[in-house]
Structure 1
Amino acid sequence: MSSWLPRGLVMTAVHVIARVLLGVAVVEAPLNTTVWKTLAIGAVVLIALIWGGIDGVADARANPDPDDYADLTVRWLQAGLLAGVLAGLISWILGRFVFAGIGEASLFIELIAGGSFTALLVFVPAFMGAAVGRWITRRDQRKNDADDDWSVHPDREAEHVAS
């Protein structure tokens, strides 16, 4: 199974669940629509950010040389595109036949505009999370390498202090 497929399917589920909960919340408390929308988008972004960060840390630990890193950009772009198209299709079906509160856009609008927005909600935070995860791991690896250098050559510490 491709590594982007489970990410895309999980992010599809996260987006659809957030959208259904948003529809229910807006119907129940229409005066707080902005708060509910912010929370729904925040949930999707936060999950993508954390998962991307975990991917970045795991990749940096598996490949100490940055030239050997896996292509997380394409992995998360594919996952975002899959999540966008599937979430748009599922949301349209649910809005058309099950929940009237989650939107009344046409299928074309759901797939193109909604899908693009969802793809960006998944891709951009995951990409940023992967970059930060790799940076943190590289920083820790460089710090550990520096500590190892000082312990192997204790006379270097004296030279460093003297200069």
Structure 2
Amino acid sequence: MVSWLLRGVVMTAVHVVARILLGIAVVQSPLHSTAWKTIAVAAVVFIALVWGGFDGIRDARAHPDPDDYDDLTIRWLKAGVFAGLFSCLICWILGTIGVQGISESSFFIEIIAGGSFIALLIFFPAFFGASIGRWLTRRDQRKEQRRLDDESNRETSDRDDDTAVIERTDDRRVANSGADPA
């Protein structure tokens, strides 16, 4: 399965489940609808953010050179558009056949406005997560490279110090023997 399609299908399922649970919660407790909506949106955002972060970490580890990175932007944009369109279509159908609290909008409003909102709700956190994941991995790689460079420099300076001690000892031997050191 294409990687953006996998992400799109999973995020569609996440959004549909969130809307169904939101519909149930709002019907049961309408005075707390703002809190339930916030939780539903936060869940979708959190899952996209974390998954995007894992993508960024995995991509940065696979490609140490930033010029070789995969195009996670388009991958998550396609996934967001897919999830936006299909989750809104599914929720509109469920709302039409009788699941209360899911959809009150017309088909075109649901698909255009809802689909766009969901696409951006998935794309931006995933893109941000991928950027943070890549940045964290590059930071760790730079730290490791500095540590290796410092160890290499210490080994080189230790060898230079040992060589200098041997040269000084040889100079003293030559000086004590009365021979010309050159």
TM-score tier (shorter): over 0.9
Give CA deviations for 1:134-163 in whole Å, capped at 9, x if unaligned: 0000000000000000111106889xxxxx
Listed as ranges, the gaps of 5+ residues in structure 1 are 159-163
**Alignment check: 8 A CA contact 1:150 1:157 kept:** no
Aligned to 1:67: 67
Q: C-alpha separation between the residues in 1 aligned to 2:61 and 2:87?
A: 32
1:136-147 pair list within 5 angstroms = 136-147=136-147
Q: Give runs of aligned pairs for residues 13-92 of structure 1, distance below 5 A.
A: 13-92=13-92
Deviation, structure 1 residue 103: 1.7
Counterpart for residue 121 of structure 1: 121
| Match of residue 161 from structure 1 | none
Cα contact 1:150–1:156 (8 A) shared by 2: no
Task: Tell me: CA distance 1:151–1:12, structure 2 relative to 1, closer, same or farther (3 Å).
Answer: same
User: How far is 1:100 from its partner?
Assistant: 2.1
Whole-Å Cα distance in 2 between the matches of residues 100 and 87 of structure 1? 16
Would the aligned equivalents of 2:11 and 2:83 in 1 still touch at CA under 8 Å? yes
> Distance between the aligned counterparts of 1:157 and 1:46, measured in 2?
49
| Secondary structure at 1:118 match in 2 | helix
User: Take 1:118 and 1:154, find their aligned partners in 2: how far apart are those partners?
Assistant: 54
One-letter identity of the residue aligned with 1:120: L
| Distance in 2 (alpha carbons) for counterparts of 1:130 and 1:117 | 20
For 2:76 and 2:89, the matched residues in 1 are separated by 20
Higher relative contact order (CA 8 A, sep 6+): 1
CA deviation string 1:109-131 (max 9, x = no partner): 11100000000010000000000
2:40 and 2:79 map into 1 onto residues whose CA distance is 19
The structure with the larger Rg is: 2
Matched-pair identity in %: 62
**Which amino acid in the other structure matches residue 135 of structure 2?**
W
The question of whether the paired residues in 2 share the 8 Å contact of 1:80 and 1:118 is answered with: yes
**Alpha-carbon distance in structure 1 between the residues aligned to 2:92 and 2:153:** 65
State the TM-score, normalizing by the size of structure 1.
0.94
User: For residues 47 and 100 of structure 2, what CA distance do their matches in structure 1 show?
Assistant: 27
Aligned positions of 1:99-114 closer than 5 A? 99-114=99-114
- Paired with 1:155 and 1:74, the residues of 2 have a C-alpha distance of 46
In structure 2, the gaps of 5 or more residues are: 159-182
Q: Measure, in 2, the Cα distance between the counterparts of 1:75 and 1:102.
A: 28
